[in-house]
Amino acid sequence: MKIDKNQLVKVIDFWQKNISTAKLYNRDILNKIALNSKEIIDLTGVRRSGKSSIFKLIIQQLNLKNNFLYINFEDPFFIAYNDPNIIDEIIAIFKEYFNSKLDYLFFDEIQEIEYWEKAVRKLRDAENYKIFITGSSSKLLSGEIASLITGRHISYNIYPLNFEEFLNFNNLEINTKKDVLLKDKKILKLFDEYIKIGGFPEAVLTKSYELLKNYFYDILQKDIVMRYNIREKDILEKMAVYILSNSGKIISVETLKTLFNISFNLVSSYLTYFKEAFLIFEVSQFSYSLKKQHKALKKMFSIDTGLSNAVSFKFSEDKGRALENIVFLELKNRGLDIYYYKTKNNLEVDFFITEKTKPKQIQVSWTLEYKKTKDREIKALLNAMSEINLNEGLIITYNEEDFIEINNKTITIKPFYKWINDKYF
């Protein structure tokens, strides 16, 4: 189809103006992105997690004026012009109508253009532009696609706001240990809100559960149903709701197969689609045997507690699992290798972090007020620490603090809001 040049000029103009009028809040990821690298920078993550805003923050940080092109390929214009040649056309028209000097390219939701990777690789190899891309599927840079730009890109995962960013969005700055201690009541109040609304930036600002429900259906429809031509939409939706409602639990494929009366292969496919769309994450049981690790059942976690709350009444009632989900997301955000741990006598520890220098065993419990709960959490942690030969363990709580020494092993009990501000303590 011949491109409507006048319409494309309008599309480019719209997105250029959109980028310059945005009100922005800082994101932690900016400190990690190698802005000066000549390689393609790709940002992948769930829809509405703030990837477009991060592009805008980068443009501000680099102090770019008119020498950049920003385009969002989810614009309806590209439904009719879904062709990798459109990328060259956009660049040519930008130079003709806007500015002949073009140094930076920002391509948002690039997966909407078929065979985009060939066009982007050609641009990268010409070394005329610094290229940034975003996508809402982990498949964006997998398999054959990755091989086409291997060695030519640096990847960053974008998640909804962590709690520190959430505080920033609510105009509460924490810069010192004194800030944490003096503002602890306000921090806890905001943490209660964070558990309920989660970290999707626009939902945080509007406090809208309806918006979160729309995100959920958008993810299912655009990233799964349309991409994989799903027929059993009702079952797909119910399975997603079930997993989000039971986040932090061990869920087997067999359980889902029986519950939804579908085949093993279909359950496996749906789980893959959920993971590709960043809707859920799986955590494996730790074992020194890779074979045992692969066979063991997986724990599943939600991308966001607010999203889980929006589609499920059940999840919001269990604050302990909501806290565990938030701890998981914080560990994930830090780029750590995360497992859960089962002791030889079948006691469970929520998280085992396999850092080379200092592995960690972490339990999560909303409260240790009740002796039965406290004894159970400590017993599991001590057993696991003995089996892995660790001397230190951690229990993260809502707002309880203690230090326990047993049999030459120490367990630190710490509130979540202090744990995430460890650098000040």
CA distance 165 to 173: 9
Mean predicted confidence (pLDDT) in 122-150: 79
Q: Which is the CATH superfamily of the domain at 5-158?
A: P-loop containing nucleotide triphosphate hydrolases (3.40.50.300)
DSSP string of 96-111?
HHT-S---EEEEESGG
Residues 49-75 pLDDT 10s: 999 999 999 999 999 988 999 999 999
CA distance 76 to 230: 22
CA distance 240 to 311: 9
**How many angstroms separate the Cα of 276 from the Cα of each of 142, 160, 220, 230, 323?**
10, 16, 11, 15, 24
pLDDT of residue 290: 81
Strand partners, 156: 43
CA distance 291 to 108: 39
pLDDT of residue 230: 95
Residues 72-120 pLDDT 10s: 999 999 988 888 889 999 999 999 999 989 999 999 999 888 888 889 9
Closest CA to 205 of 19, 50, 386: 50
Domain-by-domain residue ranges, the chain? 5-158, 166-424
The first and second tokens of residue 309, run together, are 């709350």
**How many angstroms separate the Cα of 396 from the Cα of each of 46, 287, 328, 339, 401?**
27, 23, 11, 16, 9
pLDDT of residue 210: 95
CB neighbour list of residue 171: distance below 8 Å, 6 or more residues apart: none
Residues 25-43 pLDDT 10s: 999 999 999 999 989 999 9
User: Above 80 in pLDDT, residue 163?
Assistant: yes
Residue 269: Cβ within 10 Å count: 15
CA distance 190 to 171: 11
CA distance 25 to 19: 14
Say if CB 131 and CB 107 are below 8 A apart.
Answer: yes
pLDDT of residue 157: 92
Residues 188-244 pLDDT 10s: 999 999 999 999 999 999 999 999 999 999 999 999 999 899 999 999 999 999 999
What is the rounded radius of gyration, in angstroms, for the C-alpha atoms of the chain?
23
CB neighbour list of residue 273: distance below 8 Å, 6 or more residues apart: 223, 224, 227, 228, 230, 236
Q: Give just the sign of the alpha carbon dihedral 326, 329, 333, 334.
A: positive
State the pTM of this model.
0.93
Residues 247-273 pLDDT 10s: 999 999 999 999 999 999 999 999 999
Say if CB 180 and CB 187 are below 8 A apart.
Answer: yes
H-only helix segments in 207-318:
209-220, 226-228, 233-245, 253-260, 264-276, 290-295, 305-311, 313-317
H-only helix segments in 62-103:
77-80, 85-97
Residues 131-142 pLDDT 10s: 999 988 776 665
